[in-house]
Amino acid sequence: MSEELDNMGASLYDNMIPKAWSDVGFLSLKPLASWINDLIERIEFFKNWVSGGPPPTYWISGFFFPQAFFTGTLQNYARKHRIAIDELTFEFKMYDEILPSEVTEKPDDGCYVWGMFMEGARWNSTTHLLDDSNPK
């Protein structure tokens, strides 16, 4: 048995993502079982997109490289409105009063995303503002 295969077997036994998978897969700190569940959800999300067309909302943390998705969104807007892409910036609006599953139609421009994470603060759905996660 090769060292690589032995390491993979040890990782599987310890419920850890094998290095051969993590080197080419999405970043995650989850144990193997949760990583597999995420992988299945990601595959299902993209399978539904391919078979049913673009969804009304996008699971942004399900993307391997979300920056490319946002760049594509800017490109679509630039082409539609005949504006140079380097003249555009992002504008965000938080919709915390509705669930992603309740959205049935895409916006005229841009996109609805869900599943974003942040560090150093948290979203307060009562005040509709960011809360400092380390108040003094």
Q: What is the pLDDT of residue 84?
A: 96
Q: Which of 53, 72, 96 is the last residue of a domain?
A: 53
31 and 62 share a domain? no
Count of domains for the chain: 2
136 pLDDT more than 80? no
Range of the domain at 117: 55-136
Tokens encoding 38: 């995420």
Contact yes or no for 23/31 (Cβ under 8 A):
no
Do residues 85 and 74 lie in contact, with contact meaning Cβ atoms separated by under 8 Å? yes
Distance, in Å, from the CA atom of 117 to the CA atom of 52, rounded to the nearest integer, reads: 27
Are 47 and 91 part of one and the same domain?
A: no
* 78-96 confidence digits (pLDDT tens): 999 999 999 999 988 989 8
Minimum mean pLDDT among 6-15, 48-57, 93-102, 127-136: which range? 127-136
Residue 18 has φ and ψ, to the nearest 5°, of -60, 145
The two three-digit tokens of residue 124, written as one number: 């307060």
Q: Which of 53, 75, 96 is the last residue of a domain?
A: 53
